[in-house]
């Protein structure tokens, strides 16, 4: 890729991170994902990551500390997304076991995978993290 095309792609990916994080914050607020501190965690990390994306867009990819902090947050988003998927599966599994105590093992797990807590809701943070890492990979 030529330098201008690569720079445009990197900026596009950071804009995508900004939009995903902003949309995630709005969605989490609208669905009242605020019952406990663990539910506040994705909201806060998405908001801070969106702010960091804005800083990278403003300061550029040569701003060492901003890019390093941004990359750190992107790794955090990836980890947080994995934890979120596991927690959603766990909550669904516990709900299945509460509603139908006779259901166990594989049957309960299969029902948990299609339960009320959306498994891939956390996955959008992984997409943002991967886009951010891809954008700053050569910084």
Residue 71 pLDDT more than 60?
Answer: yes
User: Considering the chain, what is the average pLDDT of its residues?
Assistant: 91
Asked if the structure places residue 68 within a domain, the reply is yes
pLDDT score, position 138: 72
Q: Residue 139's pLDDT is what?
A: 60
Q: What one-character-per-residue DSSP string does the chain give?
A: --HHHHHHHHHHHHHHHHHHHHHHHHHHHHTT--SSHHHHHHHHHHHHHHHHHHHHHHH-TT-HHHHHHHHHHHHHHHHHHHHHHHHHHHHHHHHHHHH-TT--HHHHHHHHHTSSS-GGGTHHHHHHHHHHHHHTTT-
The average pLDDT across 75-97 equals 92
How many domains, the chain? Answer: 1
Give me the mean pLDDT over the 69-80 stretch.
96
90 assigned to some structural domain = no
15 falls within a domain: yes
pTM (2 d.p.):
0.86
Confidence band of 14 (pLDDT split at 50, 70, 90): very high
Tell me the residue range of the domain where 40 lies: 3-82+121-135
29 falls within a domain: yes
Q: State the pLDDT confidence band at 2, using cuts at 50, 70 and 90.
A: low
Is residue 77 included in any domain, yes or no?
A: yes
What does the pLDDT read at residue 83?
94
- Taking only the tens place, the pLDDT of each residue in 99-129 is 888 887 888 888 888 878 887 888 999 999 9
- In terms of pLDDT, which residue wins out, 47 or 4? 47
Q: Is residue 25 domain-resident?
A: yes
pLDDT at residue 1, as a whole number: 52
Residue 99 belongs to a domain = no
User: 74 in a domain, yes or no?
Assistant: yes
Q: What local confidence, expressed as pLDDT, does residue 97 receive? A: 87
């Amino acid at each position: 890729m030529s330098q201008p095309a690569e720079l445009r792609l990197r900026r596009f990916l950071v804009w995508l991170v900004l939009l995903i994080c902003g949309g995630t914050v709005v969605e989490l607020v609208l669905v009242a994902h605020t019952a406990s501190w663990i539910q506040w965690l994705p909201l806060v990390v998405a908001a801070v990551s969106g702010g960091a994306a804005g800083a990278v867009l403003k300061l550029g990819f040569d701003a060492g500390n901003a890019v390093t902090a941004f990359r750190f947050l992107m790794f955090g988003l990836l980890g947080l997304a994995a934890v979120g998927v596991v927690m959603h599966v766990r909550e669904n599994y516990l709900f299945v076991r509460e509603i139908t105590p006779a259901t166990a093992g594989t049957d309960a797990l299969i029902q948990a995978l299609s339960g009320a807590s959306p498994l891939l809701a956390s996955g959008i943070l992984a997409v943002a993290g991967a886009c951010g890492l891809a954008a700053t990979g050569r910084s």
